[in-house]
Amino acid sequence: MASQINRVDAALFAITVLTWGTTWFVILGQLGVVHPVVSVGWRFLIASLVLFVICIARSERLALTASEHALCVLLGMFLFCLNYGLFYTASLSLTTGLVSVVFSTMVFWNALGARFFLGQPLETRSLAGGVIGVFGLLILFRTELISFDWESEGSFALFLCLLGTISASSGNLVSATLQKRDMTVWNSTAFGMLYGTVLTFIFALFNDLEIRFEWTALYVGSLLYLVIFGSVIAFGSYLTLIGRIGPGRAAYTTVAFPVVAILVSVLFEGYQLTLLAFVAVALIIAGNWLALSKPKVQKSPCRA
């Protein structure tokens, strides 16, 4: 492997971080009249239709085997149903900072999953980078962590975030498996999102959640942003990155995009950056560099 990720991987990493970093703010436009779980269903229903159009334009294979359909069902359940349903629900009672800190632990879940289920080795350098990056996030959101009441209802929401993170990590491993079975990111994600949508609406019906839509500029606008940028573009980039550099290293996007979320908060919510916040951001950047770069192999001079 090269001493560092190449330009294509760096571009995929940047696109993922920038798009998901802004979706944390945009998701707030989805909270209100429509239940969060139902909003997840609308988001991935529209995104799956867009992806199927892309698949047809690219002449992607849409005839899948039974085992491929089964894996796509798992992909949809873990990555596009449970993951977002749990996080949207938790967002009703948790701050963005707490949610992002929990989600950043996917770095470790992905690394462990890749080791035990895909046979990929654990890299000490990458794990150290993850520790440094997560520590930076803990500093960045230290006020929210210190003031958090562990005996309140928010503790259960925090547990939902952890389950959502593990679910997302499981979906990452399924995507990596599908890409090894001669499926592309486009067709596997299209079917995964479709199955995730079906499971989401089935869950909503069984729990008597009203299937409704909010025809307001805020709801529709935020939904379209989440569909195009947060789903089609971001997942296309992220899942491609998983196939190229592995689930473990690709997961470092979860440590980086809270920095973008903070910058968005500075621009639109009046968040004040402090010196300690700059130190935290520096740690996050350093952790990502350590995790994604590779030490250059020193070649010994040839002897005559």
Measure the CA–CA gap between 40 and 42, rounded to whole angstroms.
6
Residue 5 is predicted with a pLDDT of 64
- H or E segment to which residue 258 belongs: helix 253-268
Q: What is the pLDDT of residue 234?
A: 94
Report the distance separating Cα 254 and Cα 103, nearest Å: 7
pTM of the model: 0.83
Q: How far apart are CA 103 and CA 267, in angstroms?
A: 23
Low-confidence ranges of the chain (pLDDT < 70): 1-5, 96, 151, 269-271, 292-304
Tokens of 129: 């980078």
Distance CA 40, CA 21 (A): 18
Per-residue pLDDT, 294: 61
pLDDT for res 2: 39
Token couple for 135 = 């520590």
